[in-house]
Structure 1
């Protein structure tokens, strides 16, 4: 429900592109399957076999986590950027910087934010991550959606600083 001042109105959404989502998960599960095959057929020794089994399990687990994470979407309101599961990534009032440059340490098709408030570490593979005050958005998301969201967030920051 929208509040009278429009604070809960969703300005834009960021969600995983279906083709990128399928491709990302398929690559991770394929890597897991390939390393499992190598571990069972041609590992040069027991230590290498354990290593390949660990890589295989990790890749399949990350593929599963990516499938779960990319079923969610990010919603930008005039107050905050939040996940559809209810977690708030960053409040506009706490947003310190926004970086979408080519040389930024950011996810593919995404942007990097710095908050004044540190939050708990989170990782939603393919969608977003947070390490302390840094938040990265992107991965298997559509570039047009993340660009629109970052431009709106920049405008909201300017509006916040002006008023």
Structure 2
């Protein structure tokens, strides 16, 4: 089994600078283009309001993505949490890890099935939590997320073998 570092961290998943720039840039550009189209040659009022709302929503989403991808996801022997201290899931609560090609999971990531329902949560580009499912991935490195998924699967298998 892999040994933790001096802080007890077994695995870390984060978004690289390049992935952050591309992901945020695309959504920022989309928002600016929608606002430009709406204000350049204004269509009928209902359509104008819709396109403006979509443009502003895209800019808000891009800013949320930028802020969320500043943190990392860390796995310790007990929890999976963000570098900000928010606990995403407890290792004892994980039933299974799904990282297959046809799994419902974020890009470059994996899905965890939990024993108990948890409150909803979302950090764009990093993770989401809905009911008994947690998705980790998005703008993250595929290698890092694969390593974390394997470490979680190993912890679950070790626990169920006892």
- For the residues of structure 1 that align with 2:68 and 2:122, how far apart are their CA atoms? 9
Partner of 1:12 in structure 2?
A: 11
Partner of 2:53 in structure 1?
A: 54
Partner of 1:158 in structure 2?
A: 157
- For the residues of structure 2 that align with 1:145 and 1:79, how far apart are their CA atoms? 19
Q: Which runs of 5+ in 1 are unaligned?
A: 1-5
Q: Which runs of 5+ in 2 are unaligned?
A: none
- For the residues of structure 2 that align with 1:81 and 1:52, how far apart are their CA atoms? 39
1:81 and 2:55 are equivalent in the alignment: no
Partner of 1:67 in structure 2?
A: 66
C-alpha deviation, 1:42, in angstroms? 2.8
C-alpha deviation, 1:91, in angstroms? 1.0
| Corresponding residue SS for 1:11 | strand
C-alpha deviation, 1:44, in angstroms? 2.7
Report runs of 4+ in structure 1 exceeding 4 Å deviation. Answer: none
Partner of 1:95 in structure 2?
A: 94
| Corresponding residue SS for 1:56 | helix
* Residue-pair matches, total: 159
- For the residues of structure 1 that align with 2:41 and 2:102, how far apart are their CA atoms? 40
What do the CA deviations read for 1:96-146 (whole angstroms, capped 9, x no partner)?
121111111111100011111211111100000111111110000000000
Partner of 1:127 in structure 2?
A: 126
Partner of 2:142 in structure 1?
A: 143
C-alpha deviation, 1:74, in angstroms? 0.5
What do the CA deviations read for 1:71-99 (whole angstroms, capped 9, x no partner)?
00011111111111111111111101211
Give TM-score scaled by structure 2 length.
0.94
Partner of 2:105 in structure 1?
A: 106
Alpha-carbon RMSD: 1.7
- For the residues of structure 1 that align with 2:43 and 2:141, how far apart are their CA atoms? 42
- For the residues of structure 2 that align with 1:93 and 1:130, how far apart are their CA atoms? 16
Deviation larger for 83-92 or 27-36: 83-92
